[in-house]
Structure 1
Amino acid sequence: MMLRTVAFVLLAATIQLGEAKAQAVIPSPSPPSRTQPASQCQAIAQAVPRATFASVSPVEMAQARVGREEVKITFIGHSTYQIESPDGVVIATDFSGYHTPKAKPDVVTMNKAHSTHFTLSPDPAIAHVLHGWSDVPGERAEHHVTVADSYIRNVTTDIRGYGGFEENGNSIFIFEIAGLCIGHLGHLHHELTDTHYAEIGRLDVLMVPTDGGLTMGADSMSRVVQRLRSSLILPMHRGGPSLDRFLAMFDSRYDIVYAESPTLTVSLRSLPRKPRIVVPAGL
């Protein structure tokens, strides 16, 4: 509780210094423009680097009081999760067109790893198609998209290719909704640097590939998860023995729950105090 209180005071002080100065302390290859929203996930993580789990601001608590805090997260298949905001914005992660939500998504995110993580011919009715890679080799894709009550941004990482690593071929997408910070690691092929962690900031909910080799081994992936210190960890990409090896990396400091449903309803108030790995039905 003391860490949260300190986080609020420091965050408020940062905001009072002005938007331009606040942006200057956030490591970013291309700082957001003045028209882009500030990231609470980054600001709180920087104010108290060792603070863990959710840090609730007065604005976020006001949202909760009027009953607009719940976000629905549904495992669709492979690396695709559907995220539904309180305003009804539907987001599909690692969208390939094969694993599709029942409702037409307003936003889809994609990664360039291979065809099970993207499609170059999505439904034209999808309003926002966010590629995790740039069309210019080596350059960063950069997204700062606001749709109703949802803010979507990304942090780029590298992916393996036939000739070695391809720079900035993957994106970790981050969804800031109803005070929650939800992160999807995409097809992560290497451990993250301190700069990556600073750009990501706080993540309350983390979607993590558990294939054990197509992305990273269970030991490397578990180190990333433990460093991010999220309240809820949602496996994806591969179940079976690969998932078992991943889960074996975590000790009694983590609860492991096998859900009976592919859908989870999350809010700031419902986040567990002890980090919890929730294996969705269907993985």
Structure 2
Amino acid sequence: MAPIIVELLAKDPDARPTGAESAARLEAAIRGDDATLPTTAPPRPPLPPPGPESPSHLRLPLLAALLVVVLIAAGVLTALALTGDDGTPRARTSSPAPSAPTDTGPPAGSAAPTSPPGPPTAPGTTVPPTTVTVTAPAAEPPAATASPTGRPGGHWIAQLASVPKSDEVTGRDAKLAEVRRQVPDAQVLDSDRYASLKPNHWVVYADGPFPDGTAALAYCAARGRTVADLCVGRFLSGASADLKYVCAPANGTTTGICRRD
């Protein structure tokens, strides 16, 4: 049986005998038939001729031998499956773990994501247009011009009203409209531009030209403005020393300083 086991352990699967061949050789070995054994097996001494045996005595050893051969062949095949061609154990391979997806962002050339649209409008609903009102700044009132008398340092005006700036533009424009009912050529100036006037006021005035404060009062009297609340003569200049030049009406005469030499 040794030659049969050696052939079953051959590394080359094609050199191993089949199951039928192994069974036939095993049976021949049990019976002592050397013709079915490989030619490379060592010579065996002749066996004495078997005595007469009944078929039932031969069948049991034959089946046991076949079972042993099958178990040996199965063990050999299992060992060869677990080892490589060079006899070293085969390494167990494992499938690679799936890699986590990498966010590389949108592809080149694609449009950037836009913000989601607003909530939809219910059917039949009309969205009113948004109206933006822009208020233009009020035009700056014109500054008083130089006196025709040729005095570049200042000149007399008829002050018809004075409105504090805390009343804002609406108060200024209302007062100007009121004065123009009597004096159509009335104008407005910013007192902060002239040191001779009380600061922080809008001044409604008539420009004249007037040679002195008395002439300014006569202009006002001709238009029905004969009291100090409705008209005074003032000297308009950039010098704070001229703040004292105020000419006011008083019961048909004048009071204050009405001339500036």
Give the TM-score taking structure 1 as reference length. 0.21
Q: Which has the higher strand share?
A: 1
Q: Which has the higher contact order (CA 8 A, sep 6+)?
A: 1
Give the TM-score taking structure 2 as reference length. 0.22
